[in-house]
Structure 1
Amino acid sequence: MPEKTYLVGVGMTNFEKPETRDWQYWDMAREAGQAALADAGIDYGLVEQAPVGFCQQQSTAGQRAVYELGLSGIPVYNVNNNCATGSSALMMARQFVAGGLNDCVLALGFEKMSRGALGAGAGAGDFAASPLARHYGVMAARHGFERTPPTAQIFGNAAREHMERYGTTAEQLALVGVKNHRHSADNPRAQFRDSYTLDEVLASRTVHAPLTKLQCSPTSDGAAAAVVASERFVERHGLRGRAVEILGQAMTTDTEESFGSGSSIDVVGKPMSRAAARAVFEQSGLGIEDVDVVELHDCFSINELLTYEALGMCADGESGKLIAEGATGHGGRWVVNPSGGLISKGHPLGATGLAQCAELVWQLRGTAGERQVPGARVGLAHNIGLGGAAVVTMLRRG
């Protein structure tokens, strides 16, 4: 049987617009890492290994970042899984502890990005060699390829298909932006803290119809970190009072279903997300009905709706109605993205999954301040990267 694993410390920087602050990636990594260690109340010398996630820095940037915390000589692993990088680093840390190899592992993620829309991915200059060429090829066969940002284009085309297939409306998509911007107003670490009306979200600049700017995640600078520990470490260091258990965690990658249908809905990851969620429900013995608070990968508004369906929060095609009914905001059946999500909190690729984890730990401890979900005991994180990887994590406190 795997060892029980716990999150005993989390930390993150403010997420900021690129080039806002004069800092390097190792500066932000130091800030997040030190915050996580301080939250756990432990010294860096107790950390045995460190998986470190990033997408846009050079190889061994993980070592350069970790050296800011100490020069203890521990193994450092550089992790890159597109937008699922942070949760991939967290999963690696958990596996080290669950497998009995270590008692204390630090997962760290960071990104220092450039302003402007995210491109098609590494290697996209030679499109045929891009890791995402197959994904964009599926999209192009059905929708063509336009002169709009590639990631917005593939998710925008998924939105068009959802509207055609199920009658989802532009207003329902825009409600995701309304909700998440409203939530981020209470998050001091969020990149954006302004609230917007439905009309304002719909009237913002079109990026790739039907997606408007206020329904799209921005490029961001920032870092996040988490300390993962075994049960014996928790007991030895008196951390039971702040420990949050990782009840289940799974990563899935693309299957034949992702490409076989020719649908952008599938190629952007809905089948991966569904499979990962099912695995986690089986591991944890809990279902979506047991979850109080969710941090999910709303890189674009349509992906929040697709993820409602993948997680079993509603049937296929019913996600537009779910958000229109207010079921996923404060006072609803679940509170989804109380942090503001990627759309408003920000999306520094390597840090995103770990920032989701930090938000859930604060929610389950009851320390999330104005955005606190009352009585939250069970949380679920969902992080996805094109290419592809989907990571789902189930957390519980006490």
Structure 2
Amino acid sequence: MTGKTPYVLGVGMTKFSRIESLEWTYPEMAGEAIRAALGDAGISYADVERAAVGYVFQPSAAGQRVLYDVGLTGIPVVNVNNNCATGSTALNLAQEWVAAGLAEVVLAVGFEQMTRQAMAGSGEPPVITTIDHHLKAMPERGKQGQAPLTTRFFGLAAEEHMSRYGTTAEQLAGVGVKNHEHSTRNPYAQFQNPYTLEQVLGDKPVFGPLTRSQCSPMSDGAAAAVVASPDFVRAHGLEARAVKLLGQSIVTDGESAFSGGSMIDVVGGPMTEVAGQRALRQAGAGIGDIDVIELHDCFSVNELITCEALGLCAPGESGALIDDGATTYGGKWVVNPSGGLISKGHPLGATGLAQCAELTWQLRGEAGERQVAGAQLALAHNLGLGGACVVTVYGAP
């Protein structure tokens, strides 16, 4: 990250939920998040000079559709789709525009209105898919069955983690227990009920060792962030609320993802390691300096894989982090205080910006009952198969 160090000046998000009808449309949900972010920043839409708008399943140019309801100011709008890493990719574009001096105030938006048809696809499978390399690396057992394809990828990674390191079903389920408990304090979360270990273990089987309450649900929702230059922040006296973007790295798959016969690598372990090292290096920090983390727990096993790839522990030791309480309140880090994707929800285009919102509130001391005491440095990890990984390091105002 070079040039003008950008700030997150304002954030907003909707409650994540599951709406089977179209009573709550995607322009309405995105508009709610945008207006909340502008209000939080203390600026008007007229101050925004550019916008990056992310989504996965909505039609082409949906970014213009949602912004036209907020204001018709003629600004450049770039539509972003990077699968589950879409929200953080929009944020990456926004901070790069500000850092390069191309704009003083930029809006990053992510939203999703998910349908079972969109998730399942329709008709015959295409000859070319976005995950051809991933499918070639998948063992035959994973290519069979009715479970969603992403669940099979991560279920196989969970089986590999258990076989290689002795990770237990109880440790995997413990991720779900922790994150569901965290979400009881989050009014924006899709689920707000605690689960016992026995309930998570005994929940509906999905694939391999994964049960339903260890998997992110289908979700609708939106989130937004206002990114501004230091000059704009100072000129308007907004330093007390401006969270600094200290480091950010976006990485795609390298050869190692598919050459080693490891499903842990296929689902993004190497991308996370590289992106995490680069973002922390930019921030001049180590993982031990981080106080609070929002990471991409699309499935419980991915929290374990990500903790290892980010350096919270050595490979194979993430299960012990769960046993020791190292990733919850009173531990070394608080991981997914929002409830994470498992319990907060996972509207694909919104997830990365919802992480930004949560960490902004944490670093300002505005997170209410889920506040991590004295949080000064935060890290977000947002992953998409296909593939992309974005890691961002934030600093308190």
Provide TM-score, normalisation by structure 2: 0.97
**Correspondence for 2:84:** 83
Distance 1:180 1:117 in 2: 27
Amino acid at match of 2:66: A
Q: What's the secondary structure of 2:391's corresponding residue?
A: strand
| Structure 1 residues 302 and 124: alpha-carbon distance in aligned structure 2, compared to 1, 3 A threshold | farther
- For 2:56 and 2:199, locate their aligned partners in 1 and report how far apart those are by CA, in whole Å: 32
* Identity percentage of aligned residues: 60
Give the 3-state SS of the residue equivalent to 2:392 in structure 1. strand
Amino acid at match of 1:54: Y
2:47 equivalent to 1:46: yes
In the alignment, what sits opposite 1:374?
373
Q: Which residue of 2 aligns with 1:161?
A: 160
Match of 1:218 in 2: 217
* Structure 1 residues 116 and 317, CA gap change in structure 2 (3 angstroms): farther
Asked whether the equivalents of residues 118 and 151 of structure 1 are also in contact (C-alpha less than 8 Å), the reply is no
SS in 2 for 1:207: strand
Equivalent position of 1:323 in the other structure: 322
2:132 matched to 1:133?
Answer: yes
CA distance in 2 between counterparts of 1:124 and 1:357 reads: 36
Match in the other structure for 1:26: 27
On the 8 A contact 2:142/2:156 being kept in 1, the answer is yes
Rounded to whole Å, the distance in 1 between the matches of 2:185 and 2:11 is 19
Amino acid in structure 2 at the alignment position of 1:181: H
SS in structure 1 at match of 2:275: helix
- Deviates most, 267-276 or 123-132: 123-132
Q: Which runs of 5+ in 2 are unaligned?
A: none
Question: In the alignment, which residue of structure 2 is the partner of 1:11?
Answer: 12
> C-alpha distance in 1, partners of 2:323/2:19?
33
**1:288 partner letter:** I
- Report the residue type matching 1:148 in the other structure: A
The 8 Å contact of residues 18 and 219 in structure 1, kept in 2 or not, is answered as no
Structure 1 residues 190-339: aligned runs within 5 Å? 190-339=189-338
Deviation at 1:124, TM superposition (A): 8.7
Deviation by residue 1:288-337 (Cα, 9 ceiling, x = unmatched): 00000000000000000000001000000101111111000111100000
SS in structure 2 at match of 1:225: strand
Does the CA contact (< 8 Å) of 1:116 and 1:219 recur in 2?
no
Taking a change above 3 Å as real, the CA distance of residues 116 and 193 of structure 1, as seen in their structure-2 partners, is farther
Structure-2 separation of matches of 1:300 and 1:228: 30
Residue 237 of structure 1: how far off its partner (Å)? 1.2
> Which residue does the alignment assign to 2:176?
177
- Deviation at residue 79 of structure 1 after TM alignment: 0.2
Tell me how far apart the structure 1 counterparts of residues 262 and 345 of structure 2 sit (CA, whole Å): 28
CA contact 2:51–2:75 (8 Å) conserved in 1: yes
1:68 Cα deviation from its structure 2 partner: 1.5
Distance in 1 between residues matched to 2:35 and 2:7, nearest whole Å: 18
1:148 aligns with 2:147: yes
Aligned to 2:361: 362
TM, length-normalised to structure 1: 0.97
Measured in 1, the distance between the counterparts of 2:338 and 2:124 equals: 35
Q: Give the distance between the partners of 2:117 and 2:210, measured in 1 at CA.
A: 16
Query: Aligned partners of 2:163 and 2:31: how far apart in 1?
Result: 47
Give the letter for the 2:383 counterpart. Answer: I
Amino acid aligned to 2:233:
V
Helix, strand or coil at the partner of 1:330: coil
Which residues of 2 match residues 381-392 of structure 1 at below 5 A?
Answer: 381-392=380-391
SS of match in other structure, 2:223: strand
Runs of 4+ in 1 over 6 A off after TM superposition: none
How far did 1:129 drift?
A: 1.1
- Deviation of the 1:136 alpha carbon: 1.9
Alignment RMSD (CA, Å): 1.5
Secondary structure of the residue that 1:200 maps to in structure 2?
A: helix
Counterpart residue type for residue 318 of structure 2: S
Cα pair 1:383 1:390 within 8 Å, conserved:
yes
Q: Report the more deviating stretch, 12-21 or 175-184.
A: 12-21
Which letter does structure 2 place at the counterpart of 1:101? L
Deviating more after overlay: 135-144 vs 100-109: 135-144
Preserved CA contact (<8 Å) 1:17 1:115:
no
Are the structure 2 counterparts of residues 86 and 125 from structure 1 closer, same or farther at C-alpha, using a change threshold of 3 Å?
Answer: farther
- Asked if the contact 2:55–2:112 (Cα under 8 Å) also holds between the matched residues in 1, the reply is yes
Deviation at 1:145, TM superposition (A): 2.9
Q: Would the aligned equivalents of 2:246 and 2:283 in 1 still touch at CA under 8 Å?
A: yes
CA deviations 1:54-92 (Å, max 9, x no partner) are 000000001001112100000000100000000000000
Give me the whole-angstrom Cα distance separating, in 2, the residues matched to 1:88 and 1:353. 8
